[in-house]
Amino acid sequence: MSAARRAFTLVETLACVLVLSLGLIAATGLVLFGLRYHALSHSREIGVLTAESVLNDASPLATDPALSPSGATTSGYLNGLWVERTESGEVDISGGLGTVVSVHVAVNVFETQSGRPIVALARRVIKDKR
């Protein structure tokens, strides 16, 4: 065999570089997709935990009357997310004493005040009216 046959040609080298480049670009795309998916998952997790917290206790929300014109609705920023909590359907369950009521509570969590919704929860909550 001659010395020219033992080496790689320029075309073969360029073809290898092209194949390796395509593989690296695909791997980079997968990593970026994974990072984006992780950020979305983290946002949803924080949204669910915030909604669960506000579902039981509305006191952490900023209760500015300008932001919440309705008395049954409280809203504000919590954990960097816009949260709206609405109470409705109050039912007296204390047997006429009027101190314990069952209330339907709905909590909606958004990215910003007019942003994309992240979580919506609704439950019946028993609370002391005193």
DSSP states of 19-60 as a string? HHHHHHHHHHHHHHHHHHHHHHHHHHHHHHHHHHHHHH--TT
Percentages of the chain per state (helix, strand, coil), in multiples of 5: 40, 30, 30
In this structure, are strands 81-92 and 73-78 parallel, antiparallel, or unpaired? antiparallel
In total, the chain counts a number of residues equal to: 130
9-35 confidence digits (pLDDT tens): 999 999 999 999 999 999 999 999 999
pLDDT at 44 over 80: yes
Read off the pLDDT band of 37 (50, 70, 90).
Answer: very high
pLDDT at 19: 97
Q: Nearest CA to 72 among 87, 92, 60, 83?
A: 87
